[in-house]
Structure 1
């Protein structure tokens, strides 16, 4: 993402997980973990949407981690139908959850597409006191995955003309929860030409005091 990005690995349920770590210049205010899109469709930690989300968190002072799911890049293991990928996310959260081995940082969690399903699922599995204080789902995979219900303050962003995950699918998922969905007019699944707008939406939402 930038010259200061550190490539590190942590232990995961299926072996080592490749991670990209960005650390703010000042003391971090939170830990942001970002989950990438579907591994079988080219999703990696270097995806442009994932990097955009990470940049927003870094700009707001977060210690930011992107990681490759099992079987992607230098991460060990193989595709596990989503279940193992949620375990991977939980392993990364646990590995980076403590700062300097002592202070536990508040958790911010985000995911794009399939990664949105993983982020929501990981958030639901964390114990009450360890759940994310910020959760952002960008074009979450609500049509092909069973995305759990999320907290009412979750940021959900979707493109109006998404041809991978139809907007209607995300609205159908959000409606029973009374959950607002921020729609980017003319936006496709990968937000081509609209990544700056996506970043602005994230910065605006995450700048509101908790």
Structure 2
């Protein structure tokens, strides 16, 4: 893992980066919780997501959004933070040699930014949205959602309750062939205290299932073209 300073829209962006292990390896971008609630790239869940993707052969990058840690700029109500995310995604893509898959994962505020980023970046193949704060932010901008992904929340989460997430998703449409899966982690609050391993296990199962399905599809297409 390398420490990076990326020249961003508002000055430097502090990041941590693991290079793709081989040419064409998939890549993933990790987005942290709300800066005004102490969210940084050193958040335990952000680190665990990073390590999960790294374990499965991804090039991975996590970073501090503007005004956090050594990243320059000021908090910008999500507008500038989305600009940072798009900029950093460009950066990691430029560091990679034709990545096979592009994923994005975010926790809390980072999940909200992740879902917005999907709508602007058609190259994103999959996403993990951990506890998007559905009681604070409208998700109807996912119209239609252009990629398949997983939305997870704890069944004891007061910020992203299962009821709020389900209510928000009633307004969401999905492009043909794509699917948003929903699941909850039993006994988990918004911070997944004593449930973080369960959370990552849920995310890992989904990731591996998606990767296996994508590889099988490529295999079938290759056989049909022979």
Residue 137 of structure 2, aligned match among 115, 136, 145: 145
Query: How far does residue 176 in structure 1 lie from its aligned partner after superposition?
Result: 3.6
Indicate the structure whose relative CO is greater, using CA pairs within 8 Å and at least 6 residues apart.
Answer: 1
Matched, 1:7 2:8: no
Say which SS state the counterpart of residue 19 (structure 1) adopts: strand
Aligned partners of 2:101, 2:21: CA distance in 1, in Å?
A: 18
Q: Counterpart in 1 of 2:106?
A: 111
Q: Counterpart in 2 of 1:97?
A: 93
Say which SS state the counterpart of residue 112 (structure 2) adopts: helix
Q: Which has the larger radius of gyration?
A: 2
Aligned partners of 1:180, 1:93: CA distance in 2, in Å?
A: 24
Q: Deviations over 1:34-55 (max 9, x none)?
A: 1000000000001011111111
- State the TM-score, normalizing by the size of structure 2: 0.83
Matched, 1:30 2:31: no
- State the TM-score, normalizing by the size of structure 1: 0.89
Aligned partners of 1:73, 1:28: CA distance in 2, in Å?
A: 31
Change (3 A) 1:151 1:193: farther
Q: Work out whether residues 15 and 62 of structure 2, in 8 Å CA contact, stay in contact via their aligned partners in 1.
A: yes
Which residues of structure 1 form unaligned runs of 5+? none
Which residues of structure 2 form unaligned runs of 5+? 174-179, 215-226
Q: Work out whether residues 67 and 75 of structure 2, in 8 Å CA contact, stay in contact via their aligned partners in 1.
A: yes
Q: Counterpart in 1 of 2:126?
A: 134
